[in-house]
Structures are given as C-alpha cells and as structure tokens.
A and B are shown apart, each in its own frame.
Chain A
Amino acid sequence: MQKWRIFLFLQLIVLAACHRDIRYDASDAVISQPDTAFTASVQIDLLEKKFSSSLGLQVHSFGAFVVYWDGIRVGQNGVPATTGQPEVPGTETSYYQIPDKLSGLGKHNVMIRGTQKYLLETERNVMAKPESYLKMLRQPLIELSLVNLMAGAFLIAAIYYTFLFANSRHKQRTTLLFAQICFLFFTLLAMEYLKYYIDIPYTQFYTRLIIVGWLTFAIAVLIPVYFAVHFDVPHKLPFIGILLAALVSIYILKYGHYDLTAHLYSLALWIASVLILLYALIKKQRGSVLVLCGFAVSMVINQYMFYDFGLYIAFTLILLCILYLQTLGAKQLEEAHHASLLLSSRLQLELIKKNIQPHFLRNTLTSLMDWVEESPAQGVLFIQALSQEFDVMNEIAERSLIPIRQEINLCRHHLSVMQFRKEVTYIWEDAGIQDDEVIPPAIIHTLLENGITHGIPSNGSSIRFLLTFLHADTHKQYTFEVFAENRVRSGRKSGNGFRYIEARLKESYGDRWNFTSEPFAGGWRSIIRIDL
C-alpha cells in the first residue's frame, strides 16, 4: 500500500512540474495612494501563448478592488469602501478570466482600483500574472490531490498510533510522539493549503502564516525529541533545551519573515536530528543508518525543489523514516511477546513434566505395587492421594498464577504421596496465609520437593515444613522453611528447580521479586519477596 502511494505521489509531482506555456514581460506595479484608496497599474507584454483556451489573470494584492484589463472591467475582489459603506476585504490572491478578444499578443495594461483599510503598515506589493485560465483552475486541484494524499496518510497514521498507544499494555512514549508528529504534520499541510478551500480575507492573511510557523516550530521540537527517546541518547533535557533556545532565537530574530523562519526551523530540526542519528550510528543502533540516509536525501530534495513542496517532501521522507523505526520497535515488541509466549509454554510443559516424569511415575508405581501386595487398603489410599495430586496439577497446568490455597493443596497431596513412598512422616504447617493471594503455580511445590530430596528426617522419622506469609506496605513475602538435617549437596548449587522458580517469578512479576534459598542450623529456608 505504502509503495503504491509513493509511486502515485511521484507521478503527480511529474505532472505538477509541467513546463511553462506562456511567455511575457511584466512591469513593476505603479501604485498611487492618496489615502486608503489606491490605484495600481501593471504593464504586461504577452510574447507567446502556447494554449488556445482562455487567458486568465492572477492578482496578488491586499485590499478590496476592481480589476480592469485594457480598461475593461474583468472582475472584482471584495467590495471597496465607499462613503457610508465599509470595505469588504478581498483575498490576497484572486483570479480573473480575460475576454478572448482582449487576450492577443502584445502590450496590455492591468489597472487595479480599490481601497485598503487594514494592514496599512505592511509594505504594499501588487502583482499581476497572466496564465492559461484552464491551468489556473487545474493547478490547485493537482497540488491539492498531492497534498491531500500526504495529509490523509498522516491523519490515518496519527489516529492509528494514538489508538495503538491508548490500547497497548506496553505504553511506549515513541508511539505517542509519532502520533503527535503525524497529527501536527497533517495540520501543517491542511493549514498551508487551506487557501484553496476557503476565502481568507487579506486582513487574516498572516494568521495562517503564524499558525504554519508555530506548527513547524512544534514539529522541529518533536522530531528530534522522538529520535532522542527512540535511540535513548544521554543528556536529553539539556539537548532539547539547546534546541528550544535555537528555535526561539530564530523566532525572535526573524520575526515577520514567515517563510524564512519556517525554513530555519526545519534546518534546526535537521541538524539536531542528524546529531542524534550520528550518536545512534556510533552506538550501532538498529535503523540509524537508514534514517540517516533518509535525512541526507531530504536535504538534497529540500535544496533542489521549490520551497513549499521541497519542505513537505523532505518532511514526508523523515516521517517515513520514523515510521520505519516504529515498525522496528513493533517488531521488537513482537519478538519479546513471542519470547514470553515461548517461556510460558515452556514453563507449562515443565510443570506437567514434574508429575509425569517417567522416573517419578516409575518410583511411585513401584512403591504402589508394594503397598498393593502388602497392604491393599493402604494401597487404595495411596492411589487416592496420587490421583488428587494429579487433579490439582491438571487444574493449574495452564495458568500463570493460582490461588495460594490451591498451591498449598498441591503440596499437601504431594506430601501424602511421598509419605507412602518414603515412609517418612511429613508435617505441613502454614501461618498468615491470605486466601485471596495468588502465586505462580508449583513454586512452593518445587521448594517442597527439594526439601524432601535434600532433607534427612531429624528427631527420628519426620520432616516439618512451614510456609509463612507476610504482607508489608512495600512488599509481600513468602518464607518456606524445612526443618530437617541437610544432606551434603554435591555438584550444582541450584538445579532445574530453582531455574523454574525464577522463570515463573520473572514471568509474573518482571523484575519486582527477590528469591533466596539457604541453609540454617536445623534446616533450609527459602524466601520469595514480591515488591509492590
């Protein structure tokens, strides 16, 4: 879709840049201004016409006036003031059709007569340009089609990225910034070409330019800010401060020179962005090379195309580069999401494996065979305990957080099973448990398994387990203690069990947790702390 838009866009540029089809000489306007009423006259020498359709005349002037071509009235712009009647201001640019019989080659006289009650302080300049009337009708259409295409694309992008930001869980500042930049750019284009849609009285002529100026100012701030945030450059605030100072200086120094100011703003934008991009390039950040190339091309375009268009195409290029960076960001999120899904399913699998691991099953079944052969009634109890453990395991297998009571049930069932197998008395105790708390599945269970494996029953033949819960202002804490003599552990300090616990905590709490597990005199203590 984007490719087609660019293609169409380029085609329209080619169309818009048609060769001139009229050759003429025009004298400077001779203006006589006794009062607020004025008369201006321009001598036009038509040298060549390459069209056979009607001749048109484009007039740039402030005021309300009537236009005469070779002494014949061809139209009027606004209503000039007369005694008792106030002036109705005309627009800065106005268009007129010249009768065919008066549009032959040779010298012609354009006379403009009217009043200018407002904005007298601005130096008046009157211009009259002959042109094919048909072309004068078509030209705005062609320009608008191009601009609307761009503006529409950026409006959609602005809306899309605003929604994306509003509805995403990982709110990224760059997304919102990009939406804002797109919206500002859309507004800038709309303001710039508003003149074709509505009649703006000359009294309001500068209002539009002031708005365009401020929009350019905002864009010139936001684009470098975007890059600074995206590439995470150091000293962002001082950098933005310097940029702002530069822009304000331009505003003050060049006050009133609207086009020049906008041009300088965009130059400041360009320099600030390229500095950031060079930093990103040195740091070998993804996308920096492509965006730098985009900036180089935008500079070339800006240099070689006529003012408005060049600037907007350069902006468009820069925005396309940012769009590319956005998609890179989206790709990273997608990858992270994918990785988290993988982690989840891997953990789920690990959880299921815990209970269907062949050696767990085979050892359990061997004990079970013995119980059935030796004491069938106990064997039945054993089978029930085993099936209860499986039931709980089955219920929690696909969840990333489960109620703490369910976890405790799982532990209790596991202890019943292991009691049958190991013929050790296991005692479960808990304190301070809050029933509405949730916990990643089977992490206490894993600590329990470790306790069974590495604990030697003290005081005869029992091992006691104690789970306590503490809810403080800043954190929640589970403490799991095994009261038994510790077996000497050989080899690895932390095995698969600890990795499972850590992966589960990371899955559910990000970096807001802490897990420690170490021996004490008379047992082993594990502490899981979750920061609030």
Chain B
Amino acid sequence: MKILIIEDEARIAKRLARMARVYFEQQLTLTVCDTLSKGLAFIEHSSVDVLLLDLNLNGEDGFEVLEAMVARPFHTIIVSAYTDKAITAFSYGVLDFVPKPFDEGRLFQAFGRLNTKSKISDSGLKYLAVRKGGVIKMIEALQLNYIKGAGIYSELHLQDGNQELHNKSLDALEQLLPSGEFVRIHRSYIVSLKQVKKLMIEPGGKYAVHLTDGRLLPVGRSRYKQLRSKMI
C-alpha cells in the first residue's frame, strides 16, 4: 500500500503516518508532503494508492486542490477541520471525509473502505472529475449513460453521446457512485439505472440490458439477480 499524506501541520502529519503504519503494518510505503506543490510533484513521478489530504494548505483554497486530486486514479480521503465542507467533498468523489480532531477508530474506518468492495451508499457523488489536456473537467453524474472499464481506466459514456476517459478503475468508481442510481451489471460495465429501458434474456441464457438510446449491454450471470431486484 502506497500512501501519500499532504498536510501542512507537522504534528498532524505525524499522527496520520503513525496510525497508517499501525493499520497497514508491513506492506506500507509512506510519504508526507507539507505543501500542495510538493504533493503534486510527487504524484507526477510516483504511483499512489491512497491520498490523505488536508483541505486548507497554508491558506490555499481546498477545493481547487480537491478537483485536481479526485481526477487521479487513486482514492482520496479528506482529513480536514472544515467539517462543513464534507458534503461538497463527497459530491466531488472522495472516498471518505475524516473530520479533525480524529482518533484511530475513525481513521481506521476510512482505511477500511479501501479494502471492502462495499459502496459508500449515500456518498452523494454528483461530479466526476476528468483530467484532459492538463485541465480538470467536472462531469455531472446525472449525465452518465454507462461506464465501461478499460484496464486501469474507465470510459465514461455520456447521454449526449460523448466519451471521456477517467483515471480511476471501474472498481474504484463503483465504490464512489451512489448505489441507488448506478449498478454494476458486468465485470466491465456500470450502468445508470435511469437509462435502462428493459432487461432481456437472450438465446443461450445470456442476459442484456436495453438502454434508452437503443444500445445493448451485457449483464453478468452473477449480477442478473441484483439488477432485477433494483429494477422492480
């Protein structure tokens, strides 16, 4: 596990590092950066699995930081004193928001979300941030038709017919997207429930969904029951 901590208060950074070491034990690479620029420079050259991010870094506005971070392939956990920003942070697609002051229990709970496949059911994600040509573009979750996994990336298929490439894997996005609106129907597909017109059984015992735009997507055998229960 490769963890990056971006936190300008030395004492709090130490605390996060100590607790992370306790949770992940041996299999941990830990880096602490006390400014955003150092953090960004680190991300460009090294791979990261999870980022622990403070929202206010030496007076810098946290949300510009956040947009830049959630577009990255790894999960971001916000550790911040600005508890009133939690809902907004979730809507941008963070895995968890740990309010300061925090104890071991709360931080471990956040770490727990990394491993379990369970979703943060009511995360309230509203935007997906896509990095394109150096700029960050915010895409409304409501504009999604379906998402197709493409190795370590995901293809976002939008209702207007456009496609965007997201840096997070389909597994990572599944964790972030609200379960009431999005369903994983296949190893390679997540679909927006609102766009599903009907569920079809094809010859040969194969399943498929018919989307409102006429497209057919395959449904995994093991996922059929879950999809049907959500559609009824």
Contact = CB atoms under 8 A, between A and B. Distances in A.
Interface of A: 358-363, 365-371, 420-424, 453-454, 487-491, 495
A487 B58 contact: yes
Given A370-B15, A424-B10, A487 B81 contact: no
A366 B100 contact: yes
B15 A366 contact: yes
B88 interface: no
A421 B11 contact: yes
Contact of B100 (A363, A420, A423, A495): A363
A491 B62 CA distance: 13
Contacts of A490: 60
Q: Is the interface of B mostly helix, strand, loop or mixed?
A: loop
A491 B63 CA distance: 13
Interface residues of B, number: 24
Contacts of B83: 358, 362
Nearest to B36: A490
Contacts of A370: 11-12, 14-15
Interface string B97-108: 001111100000
6 contacts: A358-B82, A358-B83, A360-B81, A363-B12, A367-B12, A491-B61
B87 to A, nearest CB: 15
Q: Is the interface of A mostly helix, strand, loop or mixed?
A: helix
A512 to B, nearest CB: 30
Contacts of A361: 81
A363 B57 CA distance: 12
A424 B37 CA distance: 20
B58 A366 contact: no
Contacts of B84: 358
Interface in B53-83: 56, 58-61, 80-83
Contacts of B103: 369
B35 interface: yes
A371 B101 CA distance: 13
A424 B8 CA distance: 11
Nearest to B13: A423
Nearest to A362: B81
A361 B101 CA distance: 9
A289 B67 CA distance: 58
Given A365-B100, A370-B11, A421-B9, A359 B81 contact: yes
Given A359-B80, A489-B59, A495-B59, 11 more contacts: A358-B81, A359-B100, A362-B101, A363-B81, A366-B11, A366-B15, A367-B15, A369-B103, A423-B10, A454-B59, A488-B37
Nearest to A357: B81
A370 B15 CA distance: 6
Contacts of A371: 11
Contacts of A423: 10-11
A367 B35 contact: no
A491 B83 CA distance: 23
